[in-house]
Structure 1
């Protein structure tokens, strides 16, 4: 389906820099981090109202103004000629608090008074102007140039200090922006324990910064002196090398994936909460991570290692009481050798798939069912180059979106494409074509327009009211059905592709006969367990494929019914060193293989 127009929003990043742009989403706000740009956020205010905004670090609530301290001196110890009267300076600052957001402002401008508050009836009165959004105000005092300490809170605009001792373990927040200049711009961002975390600057590649906790605003990196647990924190990962923090992942703890190793970070080394006063960094795995964003699926982290071409996982292992890494590409190394993954996404429903775009434009698909211990890679070759992928939940399933570059008549073009829905009620509603468009009409017709993206192609295929048609040509953005098909109401047109399945060579130890390796083998009878499938061929070799019989009692002129269940096939007389089964589908029709079985004949 095409669009009438594209919406564009300005951005400080150019196309070359996008590969190094890290991002983390919070509702309609996307936080952005790049080594050469100040931290920013992409804010969505409406369907056609998007803006990239630089972050302004600090609390959202303003500090009080107009602070005025008045000393009330009712007692100067005149009965003792003033010998007991010893006035000292007391300096006060006020902060505004919004209880709904949890924000506390920075301190006001200080104001002082001289008084002897140790004598009865003497007090200092502090007043200030109201702050928009403030629920109450906190008061802090410094006696005789000491540090500030908390002395109370009030919902009024006046506070009376009659010799309240300041709590020096609780000081007012002090403004801090650790990302103020070039060289200090972070390039990694995530959320963890209700904090916004940044990491990896040019000046400090192994450092991590966390915002203040317990607030609804994440752009506040203020601290107090002495530190409070809820203050913003920072720490460095030091383990013998400069461990640049390429990615951060939030699980039950914080996982720092550096270029050299993987580190587990918590508050006490036992899973405690990270605070400004407690950070425990422990090395877990010696295989570092590349800059590609990791995928967190259930309790498992998928990542691309910094050295080599593979995909590894991270998860907690009881036998080592820590994180353990596994290579999940070990059975398919030929799909990764010499190739890097540049973009990937996880589609949870309905089939739990990881889609990964390689640097050469090929698309990989990884089936992942952790609880069933089912996993494996597939190569999806399209008529084009896949540049980027993402998954978006729509209609009860996760739909994959792709940016695909295709060589079309007239030049190279890029398309935003969406993977067809996996669930459908009728074959006429399915789509097993590449670069396809679908439409439904009130009246059946034989000619269809709107195919400008396939202009000049003579290999277009389609599904017309559930029937497959191939060998169509597009001219002037129009395609016309052949007389054998006639007309149609529900149609889909696109580029065809072939689905191929090949079983692994037979390697078993047969009782009393030994291993099958190196012995002559024949597949014998083959059984395919199919679901909602039509028009496939199967056999023992690519040149020995035969149609799987499917038409039974359908009425004349009706499409073939879908195949569901077990289908027995007698294989061709083909003897070789390995017994294999090949299944292929060239038609743009559904094909789901649940199981493949054979009864091999093994020679002596």
Structure 2
């Protein structure tokens, strides 16, 4: 028989899978837990009970599932946006934005059924620039949500210009022309449908030979000739001479020596002075006409071969594109890559001061012009420069795999169903641009359509099956980005797959993950301290399903906090509430301020016995903490509860008990391991920080109470919080093979478990 007194000094291994129960050789085994419900792992080691969920408002229509979208101008100005059936509502500073006496809302184009993908993930992707949020969805034109004021928000389709376009037509039998009135186009084949309304159309001169090239010192007007109206081109740019002068001399008028480069207005190619015995005048004035192409926008469909258009370009339509003949005009044309006819981009981010849009279905990625987010022209007056728009395709070993996410870092990282990619310069000797781009495969794990999260120097993304959280970081040795599965020890918590994630940077670094069944998970993430800890969070109530999550800075700016839409059954009816998670108790707080109830509210004022305003919890049994003391549970009736004694600070809400169960103790035996041998925990000491109450025992009981009021405590005040060690407590259990310890607490009070120190006897036989 071996007697040992180990210490469980850290719980930041998180809750472990049953598959880990034999891994006593695993370095983090002593830090792991069999169960860790409603606790948060900390970098320092203790397990801290999570704060409660504070009620903000019911959603507009509890019959349908809305989503929360984050809008953050800066840490001081942030919003949670409720996207439902054709509307958006707004939340900020822990409350709903109200206009007069009603919630402020605006209309949106999105049907609520289109907001959720078949795998349960959010179908809407977004990226923000200052007061503008760009919203992308595969079924809708990209939208621009703008904050003009606290009660002045607008949403409208994004008005892209210059592209992007599909590949240029190469069939010389398919013509499109602009009618002479410039208000319509026609073709010699069926092309236009109603879904082309709003689409851009690119038309280019089919043959430049009709306009002679500009050359210096060439005759442009002989005797008795006027050069006005003469056309010349430089590359594709076409200019018209606007010098209106009839040559009455024997010497000609010739072009100057300054090559034409202007792209608007007029410019001279010389000084227009005579050259003795050579020219009457050398140099004329030229007006820029067009760069050889024009971009049009389709405004209405006349029939399958004709459509009304407006001119989007700031120059004239090339003359050889204008024709009333059919066929006429040009066979060099292209149609916008994005439209109702072809589909819309559904992924968006920013990279190198460009807006990046991707249509995941066909792996196409487009980069805007630098610093001009809505401009996707791939050339400027015929010239391709490094700041022009870029079009690229992600190819995954010749496989067809949809894209899932994009994340901007030193390179643009891209997740797809078939693998992960990095996009950057082909060569570092030149800037990133149309002629200097490279997309290379980094790994082949595959990704789910959940926006990746940048966490310090790493990227966290969900693997395509939804059951693995992958950590991507750059590997110097292999010179590429590698990924590692961070859900291995807690694979049992991933059953059903993850559908949404959100990252909380402070005060603790936590990735929040939402599972397809509505379960909420926390993942303490601090790679520099080797902390990776999953713990499940059970939100209080009946029929609870968490449906959407995000993280916003708290109004106090000292932390970030989780916001959620929580679905419950209240009085037999489905209710959906917007709530946010309060922080756990910390040094300096009053005992009365501890908030450990869900869908809860706080009364603060003169001592009161009746607490009202609880209509959202009608008929529910609620926990009550009044001035730091736990009062008996009550049932909410007519939106109120009656306290047993008056309280000035009263927290009321649904119970959310916490539970912690250790892994099987491994304290050794005389002949080796303690595993597989009967053992008995004789005594146990708990070390707490600012904690109260609870009970302990073997897993699933029987249990003994902790922290009964001592004779020295005043009877007219709540029991004080304990910081330090309990007495050596007899453990309420005999011999068994497990050797596990459970602590649980079903009262709405703070709990921080710092360490557990058992005394265990292990039989050698």
What is the DSSP-based 3-state SS (H/G/I as helix, E as strand, rest coil) of the residue aligned with 1:332? helix
- Give the drift of 1:430: 1.8
Report 1:226-305 matches (<5 A): 226-238=383-395, 239-268=397-426, 274-305=432-463
Task: Identify the residue that residue 77 of structure 2 maps to in structure 1.
Answer: none
Structure 1's 492 and 222: CA in aligned 2 closer, same or farther, altered over 3 A?
A: same
- Give the drift of 1:403: 0.5
Tell me if 1:58 matches 2:148: no
What is the DSSP-based 3-state SS (H/G/I as helix, E as strand, rest coil) of the residue aligned with 1:331? helix
Tell me if 1:392 matches 2:552: yes
Contact 1:72/1:123 (CA < 8 Å) preserved in 2? no
Q: C-alpha deviations, 1:217-262, integer Å up to 9, x for none? A: 4111122244211111111112321232211011121111011000
C-alpha distance in structure 1 between counterparts of 2:577 and 2:560, whole Å:
20
C-alpha distance in structure 1 between counterparts of 2:737 and 2:429, whole Å:
54
Q: 1:439 aligns with which of 603, 607, 621?
A: 603
C-alpha distance in structure 2 between counterparts of 1:186 and 1:542, whole Å:
52
Contact 1:229/1:276 (CA < 8 Å) preserved in 2? yes
- Give the drift of 1:361: 1.5
Mean alpha-carbon deviation: is it higher for 501-510 or for 34-43?
A: 501-510
Q: 2:108 aligns with which of 4, 7, 11?
A: 11
Contact 1:72/1:122 (CA < 8 Å) preserved in 2? no
- Give the drift of 1:140: 10
What TM-score does the superposition give when structure 1 sets the normalisation length?
0.80
Report 1:411-560 matches (<5 A): 411-422=573-584, 425-441=589-605, 443-457=606-620, 459-482=621-644, 486-507=645-666, 513-549=671-707, 551=709, 553-560=712-719
- Give the drift of 1:578: 2.1
Report 1:42-191 matches (<5 A): 42-58=145-161, 70-71=242-243, 82=251, 86-87=254-255, 108=264, 122-125=282-285, 178-191=337-350
Q: C-alpha deviations, 1:536-593, integer Å up to 9, x for none? A: 2222333132223365543232111112133343423422112111110110011112
What is the DSSP-based 3-state SS (H/G/I as helix, E as strand, rest coil) of the residue aligned with 2:284? strand
Q: 1:20 aligns with which of 110, 120, 123?
A: 123
Tell me if 1:33 matches 2:136: yes
Tell me if 1:581 matches 2:741: yes
Structure 1's 15 and 44: CA in aligned 2 closer, same or farther, altered over 3 A?
A: same
C-alpha distance in structure 2 between counterparts of 1:188 and 1:271, whole Å:
30
- Give the drift of 1:45: 1.3
Q: 1:571 aligns with which of 731, 735, 741?
A: 731
Structure 1's 531 and 70: CA in aligned 2 closer, same or farther, altered over 3 A?
A: same
- Give the drift of 1:497: 1.8
Contact 2:254/2:283 (CA < 8 Å) preserved in 1? no
C-alpha distance in structure 1 between counterparts of 2:575 and 2:290, whole Å:
67
Contact 2:697/2:733 (CA < 8 Å) preserved in 1? no
Structure 1's 177 and 29: CA in aligned 2 closer, same or farther, altered over 3 A?
A: farther
Structure 1's 515 and 281: CA in aligned 2 closer, same or farther, altered over 3 A?
A: same
Q: 2:534 aligns with which of 377, 383, 386?
A: 377
Task: Identify the residue that residue 346 of structure 1 maps to in structure 2.
Answer: 503
Q: Which has the higher contact order (CA 8 A, sep 6+)?
A: 2
Tell me if 1:362 matches 2:519: yes
What is the DSSP-based 3-state SS (H/G/I as helix, E as strand, rest coil) of the residue aligned with 2:616? helix
C-alpha distance in structure 2 between counterparts of 1:523 and 1:274, whole Å:
65
Tell me if 1:218 matches 2:373: yes
Contact 1:261/1:285 (CA < 8 Å) preserved in 2? yes
Task: Identify the residue that residue 601 of structure 1 maps to in structure 2.
Answer: 761
C-alpha distance in structure 2 between counterparts of 1:554 and 1:478, whole Å:
32
What is the DSSP-based 3-state SS (H/G/I as helix, E as strand, rest coil) of the residue aligned with 2:576? strand
Q: C-alpha deviations, 1:133-153, integer Å up to 9, x for none? A: xxxxxx8998xx99xxxxxxx
Mean alpha-carbon deviation: is it higher for 536-545 or for 282-291?
A: 536-545
C-alpha distance in structure 1 between counterparts of 2:240 and 2:130, whole Å:
41
C-alpha distance in structure 1 between counterparts of 2:284 and 2:668, whole Å:
92
Contact 1:352/1:367 (CA < 8 Å) preserved in 2? yes
C-alpha distance in structure 1 between counterparts of 2:414 and 2:159, whole Å:
26
What is the DSSP-based 3-state SS (H/G/I as helix, E as strand, rest coil) of the residue aligned with 1:228? coil
Gaps of 5+ in 2: 1-55, 58-95, 116-121, 163-238, 276-280, 294-332
- Give the drift of 1:349: 1.3
C-alpha distance in structure 2 between counterparts of 1:540 and 1:254, whole Å:
51
Tell me if 1:200 matches 2:359: yes
C-alpha distance in structure 1 between counterparts of 2:268 and 2:571, whole Å:
83
Contact 1:176/1:222 (CA < 8 Å) preserved in 2? no
* Aligned residue pairs, count: 529
What TM-score does the superposition give when structure 2 sets the normalisation length?
0.64
C-alpha distance in structure 1 between counterparts of 2:134 and 2:375, whole Å:
14
What is the DSSP-based 3-state SS (H/G/I as helix, E as strand, rest coil) of the residue aligned with 1:391? strand
C-alpha distance in structure 2 between counterparts of 1:260 and 1:39, whole Å:
26
Task: Identify the residue that residue 153 of structure 1 maps to in structure 2.
Answer: none
C-alpha distance in structure 2 between counterparts of 1:513 and 1:271, whole Å:
65
Structure 1's 296 and 269: CA in aligned 2 closer, same or farther, altered over 3 A?
A: farther
Structure 1's 282 and 596: CA in aligned 2 closer, same or farther, altered over 3 A?
A: farther
C-alpha distance in structure 1 between counterparts of 2:429 and 2:262, whole Å:
36
C-alpha distance in structure 2 between counterparts of 1:400 and 1:14, whole Å:
26
C-alpha distance in structure 1 between counterparts of 2:159 and 2:571, whole Å:
48
Contact 2:386/2:431 (CA < 8 Å) preserved in 1? no
C-alpha distance in structure 1 between counterparts of 2:664 and 2:247, whole Å:
101
Structure 1's 50 and 579: CA in aligned 2 closer, same or farther, altered over 3 A?
A: same
- Give the drift of 1:113: 8.8
Task: Identify the residue that residue 135 of structure 1 maps to in structure 2.
Answer: none
Please tell me the root mean square deviation across aligned C-alpha atoms, in Å. Answer: 3.3
